[in-house]
């Protein structure tokens, strides 16, 4: 991520780092100078949190990100009213995952300005048909009555897995590595998000309402992906099983089974602005030409993926401790990368081999139409430019820690909580501000120097500049800034605790606001 790439190294001072972790402030902040444009003066030097979601990189930032996701999950799971703007199209809904809203069986991401192609929407015969039911215009689950007359509105927790690529040991490694289908495992991982997107579309058609979900993409011990999802409302196990069995995704990319170029690679032709064969200079087919072929009547998809038979679903009612624990579980592993299902410090040699072997596969397969790896298959990538090198695509799918999954780890539907993640973040900060204000205390001026502060002419009042201070260049200044932040943070936590305590004392006993208040938001975020 962009925030990850510009962060400073982890604070080298052990003691300082431990204190920061305990108090909950970022252990590898980026230092910024804030200049007042009116006076030209330096008004503050502030540390910005790195914002990592990985515990190994920064535990405080990762914990904060995980709590935010838990808020988001909780806010939507048992919602009883529809978010205000219900989409008009009941069948299809685009979510904030990087899904493709195209035709159900046609999501190749090809250029929409290209000549209009149509692909058959006929379902593949090897998959059972989808039961189709009338669609109701709602996103919430139904109320059900128990035999004793109690009415409740349950929601579901669903786990979807990928199929087997070969028998595995208990530690997740293949019993016969030579026979294990690493290529399929890698392709399934690269295209997994599209398969689960297709699943939600199908489930909506079969559930009769606009099912909403909060799904986390997680690794299994065999290093394949699966997804845990909180789903609003319930469907029967039978319907779920039918939908899982009927769901598949076809990847309409050019074929990429056998690499053409391994050692000798295509070269960039300046005049043609395209890649050519290194020996005879013949132009490689462009991305557009190669995808045109996938529209020919007898064309086959480059890859076809489907779910494994293992499905799990359980029902949950709002407000129970079981429900709350499940939300914790759902978000727990978001602070670890996919590859970290094997502890980097403790994995066995066998696990290391399995991990490396799978990584070798995802490294060289194309992750997107723009991926340099297409050159291996004698195809010019989409939007090609000079200097493209197979095996060196910078996109996250190829990274060891992601093992093919280049997108978001949390995929939520648009009408889940009715709020964006940023709005959930603002909510957390607002609770703290309200608590302080109600207790007559001054909230910290987090936005004092914000970019939207303007001067008399409407121009931005402050500018934020890189300070060029990191542990490598100026450890002492870095330490001073961190210590100051620690002290501020402690004072601020103390004030907040005092405010909460005085409010709790002044409040009627059935008011539970203080019990749900989050940790104070970090000053400056
Ligand atoms: Zn951090
Ligand atoms: Zn790539």
Asked whether 135 and 90 are in contact (CB, 8 A), the reply is yes
CA of 192 to the centre of ligand 2 (A): 15
pLDDT confidence of residue 67: 94
Question: What would the two tokens of residue 348 be?
Answer: 């066995």
Q: What are residue 156's DSSP bridge partners?
A: 231, 315
Question: What would the two tokens of residue 484 be?
Answer: 């100051």
Does residue 248 come out as left (phi exceeding 0), alpha (psi in the -120 to 50 range) or beta? beta
CA of 381 to the centre of ligand 2 (A): 10
Question: What would the two tokens of residue 71 be?
Answer: 């808020």
Asked whether 277 and 118 are in contact (CB, 8 A), the reply is no
CA of 51 to the centre of ligand 2 (A): 25
pLDDT confidence of residue 212: 96
Counting ligands in written order, the one closest to the CA of 364 is 2
CA of 525 to the centre of ligand 1 (A): 11
The dihedrals phi and psi of 337, each to the nearest 5 degrees, come to: -75, 170
pTM: 0.83
The dihedrals phi and psi of 132, each to the nearest 5 degrees, come to: -115, 130
The HSE-up count of residue 331 (CA atoms within 13 Å, CB side) is: 21
pLDDT confidence of residue 518: 42
Counting ligands in written order, the one closest to the CA of 55 is 1
Asked whether 207 and 313 are in contact (CB, 8 A), the reply is no
What Cα–Cα distance (Å) separates residue 440 from each residue in 445, 502, 503, 521? 15, 10, 10, 18
| 15 CB-near residues (< 8 Å, 6+ apart) | none
Counting ligands in written order, the one closest to the CA of 381 is 2
pLDDT confidence of residue 468: 76
Counting ligands in written order, the one closest to the CA of 9 is 1
Which parts of the chain register pLDDT below 70? 1-12, 84-116, 439-452, 471, 507-525
The dihedrals phi and psi of 503, each to the nearest 5 degrees, come to: -70, -45
* DSSP per position, 199-233: HHHHHHHHHSS---EEEEEEE-TTS-EEEEEEESS
Handedness of CA 17, 18, 21, 25 (dihedral sign): negative
Asked whether 148 and 221 are in contact (CB, 8 A), the reply is no
CA of 54 to the centre of ligand 1 (A): 9
| 480 CB-near residues (< 8 Å, 6+ apart) | none
Counting ligands in written order, the one closest to the CA of 369 is 2
CA of 521 to the centre of ligand 2 (A): 37
CA of 272 to the centre of ligand 2 (A): 23
Question: What would the two tokens of residue 240 be?
Answer: 């779920």
* DSSP per position, 158-202: EEEE---SS-B-TTS-BSSTTTS-HHHHHHHHHTHHHHHHHHHHH
Asked whether 206 and 247 are in contact (CB, 8 A), the reply is no
pLDDT confidence of residue 359: 98
Q: What are residue 217's DSSP bridge partners?
A: 227
Question: What would the two tokens of residue 70 be?
Answer: 């838990």
Euclidean distance between CA atoms 170 and 452, whole angstroms? 55
Question: What would the two tokens of residue 66 be?
Answer: 């995980």
Euclidean distance between CA atoms 421 and 426, whole angstroms? 9
Nearest CA-CA partner of 303 in 369, 343, 251: 251
CA of 49 to the centre of ligand 1 (A): 5
Q: In what order do the strands lie in the sheet with 410-412?
A: 311-316, 155-161, 225-231, 213-219, 410-412
Asked whether 370 and 381 are in contact (CB, 8 A), the reply is yes
CA of 136 to the centre of ligand 1 (A): 44
CA of 473 to the centre of ligand 1 (A): 19
CA of 188 to the centre of ligand 2 (A): 15
Q: What are residue 33's DSSP bridge partners?
A: 45, 465
pLDDT confidence of residue 506: 74
Query: b/e string for 34-72 if b means 16 or more Cβ within 10 A?
Result: bbbeeeeeeeeebbbbbbbbbbebbbbbbbbbbebbbbb
Asked whether 209 and 239 are in contact (CB, 8 A), the reply is no
CA of 401 to the centre of ligand 2 (A): 15
The greatest distance separating any two alpha carbons of the chain, rounded to the nearest whole angstrom, comes to 84
Asked whether 130 and 242 are in contact (CB, 8 A), the reply is yes
pLDDT confidence of residue 4: 39
CA of 260 to the centre of ligand 2 (A): 17
CA of 474 to the centre of ligand 1 (A): 19
Q: What are residue 290's DSSP bridge partners?
A: none
CA of 219 to the centre of ligand 1 (A): 24
Counting ligands in written order, the one closest to the CA of 397 is 2
Asked whether 479 and 14 are in contact (CB, 8 A), the reply is no
pLDDT confidence of residue 25: 87
CA of 111 to the centre of ligand 2 (A): 18
């Amino acid at each position: 991520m962009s925030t990850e790439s510009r962060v400073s190294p982890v604070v080298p001072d052990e003691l300082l780092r431990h204190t920061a972790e305990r108090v909950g402030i970022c252990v590898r902040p980026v230092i910024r100078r804030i200049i007042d444009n009116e006076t030209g003066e330096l008004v503050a030097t502030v540390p910005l949190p790195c914002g990592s979601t990985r515990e190994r990189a920064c535990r405080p930032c990762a914990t904060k990100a995980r709590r935010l996701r838990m808020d988001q999950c909780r806010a939507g799971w048992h919602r009883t009213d529809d978010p205000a703007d219900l989409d008009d199209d009941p069948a299809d809904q685009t979510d904030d995952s990087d899904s493709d809203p195209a035709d159900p069986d046609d999501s190749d991401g090809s250029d929409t300005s290209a000549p209009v192609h149509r692909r058959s929407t006929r379902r593949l015969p090897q998959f059972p048909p989808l039961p189709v039911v009338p669609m109701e215009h709602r996103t919430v689950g139904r109320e059900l009555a128990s035999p004793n007359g109690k009415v409740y509105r349950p929601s579901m927790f669903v786990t979807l897995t990928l199929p087997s690529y070969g028998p595995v040991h208990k530690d997740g490694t293949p019993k016969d590595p030579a026979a294990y289908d690493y290529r399929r495992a890698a392709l399934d991982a690269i295209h997994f998000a599209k398969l689960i997107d297709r699943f939600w579309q199908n489930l909506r058609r079969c559930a009769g309402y606009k099912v909403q979900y909060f799904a986390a993409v997680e690794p299994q011990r065999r290093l394949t992906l699966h997804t845990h999802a909180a789903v609003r409302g319930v469907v029967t196990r039978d319907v779920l099983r039918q939908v899982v069995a009927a769901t598949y995704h076809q990847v309409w990319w050019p074929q990429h089974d056998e690499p053409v170029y391994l050692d000798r690679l295509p070269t960039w032709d300046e005049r043609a602005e395209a890649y050519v064969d290194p020996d005879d200079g013949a132009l490689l087919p462009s991305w557009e030409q190669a995808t045109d072929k996938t529209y020919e009547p007898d064309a086959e998809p480059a890859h076809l993926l489907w779910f494994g038979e293992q499905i799990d679903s359980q029902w949950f009612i709002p407000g129970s401790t079981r429900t709350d624990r499940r939300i914790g579980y759902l978000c727990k592993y978001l602070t670890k990368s996919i590859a970290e299902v094997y502890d980097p410090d403790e994995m066995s040699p066998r696990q290391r081999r399995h991990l490396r072997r799978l990584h070798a596969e995802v490294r060289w397969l194309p992750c997107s139409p723009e991926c340099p790896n297409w050159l291996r298959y004698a195809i010019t990538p989409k939007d090609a430019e000079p200097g493209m090198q197979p095996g060196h695509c910078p996109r996250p799918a190829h990274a060891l820690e992601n093992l093919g999954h280049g997108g978001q780890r949390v995929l939520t539907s648009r009408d889940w909580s009715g709020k964006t993640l940023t709005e959930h973040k603002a909510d957390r900060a607002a609770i703290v501000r309200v608590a302080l204000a109600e207790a007559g205390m001054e909230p910290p001026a987090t936005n004092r120097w914000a970019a939207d502060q303007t001067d008399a002419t409407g121009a931005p009042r402050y500018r934020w500049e890189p300070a060029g201070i990191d542990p490598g260049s100026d450890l002492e200044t870095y330490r001073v800034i961190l210590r100051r932040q620690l002290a501020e943070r402690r004072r601020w936590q103390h004030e907040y605790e005092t405010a909460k305590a005085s409010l709790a004392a002044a409040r009627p006993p059935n008011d539970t606001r203080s019990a749900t208040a989050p940790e104070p938001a970090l000053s400056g975020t």
